[in-house]
Amino acid sequence: MRPSSIIWFERLFLASLVVSLVNFVLGYGQMRRLWLADPRLAQVGLGSGFLVGAAVLSFVIYLLLWFLIARKASNVAKWVLVVFIAIGLLSLPSAFTGPFSVAQGLGLLVYVLEIAAIVCLFRADARAWFAGEQTHEASPLD
């Protein structure tokens, strides 16, 4: 059975994906306008379909990482996720230029949930689970 830290990782990480999806849907119109207004992208021929495709691909990658970590105890996937989130955090300061918006608030919430989820992966019971050691079962309410 999965330890409670892994169950909490799963809850927090999936919550971050839901908030991220809501943020994408709410901000799609503005992102699309900015995307289509860029003449460099028009020259290359990348339309709004590319924007949606990139978002779908990123969600699929994050869902795959969730599955490999939370269900298959993949230590490699854990570190890939840590690197992805660390890279994302590097862009965090630039995301908060200008007046504060709902999109910025939701984006910040995504990072908070992701960091909390990552912390769960480094707790003792999660480390033992990744190492393949026998761990005690989590209670159904964990």
Q: Which two tokens stand for residue 43?
A: 């020259």
- Give per-residue pLDDT as tens, 77-98: 999 999 999 998 888 887 777 7
Q: Is the pLDDT of residue 61 over 90?
A: yes
* Domain extents in the chain: 4-130
Q: What is the CA radius of gyration of the chain?
A: 18
The single-letter DSSP state of residue 115 is H
C-alpha distances out from residue 68 to 3, 6, 61, 111, 140, Å: 15, 12, 11, 20, 22
Contact by Cβ (8 Å): 92, 111: yes
- Give per-residue pLDDT as tens, 118-127: 999 999 999 9
